[in-house]
Each structure stands twice: as C-alpha cells, then as structure tokens.
Structure 1
Amino acid sequence: MGIAVSSLWKSLFGQKQLNICILGLDNAGKTTLTYQMTMGQAVSTAPTVGSNTENFTYKNLNFLLWDVGGQASLRASWSSYLANTDAVVFVFDSTDGERVGLAREELHKVASDESISKAPILIFANKQDVTGCMTPADISESLSLTTLRLQNWHIQGCSALTGSGLNEGLDWLATSLGAQG
C-alpha cells in the first residue's frame, strides 16, 4: 500500500526538471562554476565549444544545467538555448572591466528574449576572490541591472574556484523558481 501511495504521489506531484541556461562572456568561469555546483570542487577546464549539460539537485529541485560557450562566434546561438528555459544564470568576470559594456549588451539581449520573459535571472559576479575585482554593486551599476524591469533578477558575488557565494545565489534561485511553480 505504501508503495502505491508513494508512486501516486510522485506521478501527481513529482519533481519537475528545471532547465537552467548558464551564459556569460568567454573566460567568465561558467564551466568552473558548473562543476563547482555539480561536483563540489573546481576542475581544470578548457574553453567550451558548443555546450555542456549536467544534472544537478539543489533544495529538492532537479536542474538540467546548460553551460553554453561564451566566445563571440557562439553568442549568436544563445537564443536557441533559451526556449523552455526556466531560469538564466549569467556569469560575469569581476576582473574584466574592459568588457563590461559587451557583457551588458549580451545580458540585455538575453533578458529581452520573449521565451524567458518570466524566467528569473541570477547574475554571478565571479572571481570575487581576486584582489582589485569589481564589487557586485559596481557590476550591478555597470550592467544597468535596474533597467531589467520585466525580470526578477539578483546579483551575487562568488568564486567558482572556492565555491564562496554559490549557495547564496542558488538559494535565491530556488526560492524564485519555487514561487513560480
């Protein structure tokens, strides 16, 4: 009897897989962040050509993570990954002040895509462990985040190498997605 009730419960209220698209310029730390979330450690990586996918469970939510390459030649394909996306994680290299304008342009293109109009956007200000990096407040201003009025967004300082700040960002994301559900 217990197995039948358990099976019925899962079929009616089972965990839905949530599709998360991880985007950002090349060298922002997307793949390192992905492996830190899924494996709990930094892994030596090479630039992503195309995309990587990883399954990940956090706070009883099942995520399918799409880690998409950030090279200029790959950014044009980002929109094709956004269909059926429940949330976007945008990774910004906090030491890359020279390309903040380009990052702002790419983030705003993504945010204006109709297929994610209701999807929360988590911005990870990565590499906060590097001396002289931009603060999350500086990045928020430079990326013009307050103009993203249609999306629920949050910026979180982090280090993909150490894992610092990841749980705080993921907590926000889990809460945002739970509220949608």
Structure 2
Amino acid sequence: MRQLIAKLMSILGNREHEVIIVGLDNAGKTTILYRFLTNEVVHACPTAGSNVEEIIPRKTHFLMWDLAGQEALHSTGITYYSNTEFSIFVIDSTDRNWLLIAREELRKMLLRDASVLIFANKQDVKDSMSLVEISQFLTLSTIKDHSWHIRGCCALTGEGLQARLQWISGHG
C-alpha cells in the first residue's frame, strides 16, 4: 500500500489525471462514477460504450472513464489505457460465479503501467464475499510489480468510496 501511495503522490499535482473504471457487467462501475461526481445514487441503464466525467475533489482534477463490462476490456479498453495513471477495478462481491473471469481480467489489466484500486462492491448484501476471500481468489498477494489496494464498498450508500477518492487524490 505504501508503494501505491508513493506513486499517487508522485503523479498528483495541478494537472488532470486519467482514471479508468472497469469491471464485469453489473458490478456497479457507473453507480460508483456518479457517486463520486454527485454523491448521490444515479440509476443508470447498462453502459454501452463509456461514460466520462471530470471530478475535482480538493483541487485535484480527475478525468474518469467508466467503460462498459468485460467486452470493453477486450476491444475499446486498450485505447483508454494509454494515458491512464490509475485503474479502478470493480468487483461484485455477491457474484461468485464470475470471480474467475474477474481474476483473468485483472491480470490482463496488470499488463499496463497503472496502479489499481479494487473496489469490492455490494458489501452491504447478505452473503457477500469478504475482502479476504476476494483477495485470496484474485491471488492479490502475488502481485509484486504493480501498486494495488482492495477496499470494500457499497456504491448505493457511498460507504467506502469518498474516503478512497480522497486517499487517491493524496488528501485522505
């Protein structure tokens, strides 16, 4: 985690920072994006393509790209990775059936040179997987060449999100 904070501190300044939000279908990517932007729940249809928003917490500018589910990771996602400094990978903590695919997609993301924040979304739902369970299944402890951090959250209530955005921006 210290490596991730150091990298973030080195890249943050007065310029705009590009962040992509990716994950499998229905993980909560768009809900998280608009929770960052408005601090409210925005009910959205499944994303076709991408959403982009500028978010400015405490004078740090982020250009956040919310890419549609896993298909975007394979096709148009490559375009968005080129200037990305930070990736947010959203996991649906209730969907054990897709965790193997999530692990594969995370490994593909690690081919880029961006730090990764993993949001284990839907932690408020009964029988959701714990952070330890998700970390073990994603084999996060084996990731040595990238800065990463995992955090539980609930996109609907905002729990776990704002503190992480402040942490990313170097102010929290």
TM normalised by structure 1 equals: 0.83
Could you say which residue in structure 1 is the equivalent of 2:143?
148
- How big is the shift at 1:167? 2.1
Could you say which residue in structure 2 is the equivalent of 1:97?
96
- Structure number with greater CO (CA < 8 Å, separation at least 6) is 2
- Distance, in Å, in 2 between the alignment partners of 1:131 and 1:174 is 31
The 5-angstrom pairing of residues 30-179 of structure 1 reads 30-72=29-71, 74-77=72-75, 78-113=77-112, 117=113, 119-175=114-170
Q: Share of identical aligned residues, percent? A: 44
Could you say which residue in structure 2 is the equivalent of 1:26?
25
- How big is the shift at 1:71? 4.3
Provide Cα deviations, 1:94-116, integer angstroms capped at 9, x if missing partner: 00111100000001101123xxx
Q: How many residues align?
A: 158
Structure 1: gaps spanning 5 or more residues: 1-13
RMSD of the TM alignment (CA)?
1.4
8 Å CA contact 2:70, 2:105 repeated in 1: no
Provide Cα deviations, 1:72-131, integer angstroms capped at 9, x if missing partner: 3x3312222100001000000000111100000001101123xxx2x2210000001101
Which protein has the larger Cα radius of gyration, Structure 1 or Structure 2? 1
SS in 1 for 2:56: strand
TM normalised by structure 2 equals: 0.87
- Distance, in Å, in 2 between the alignment partners of 1:140 and 1:103 is 12
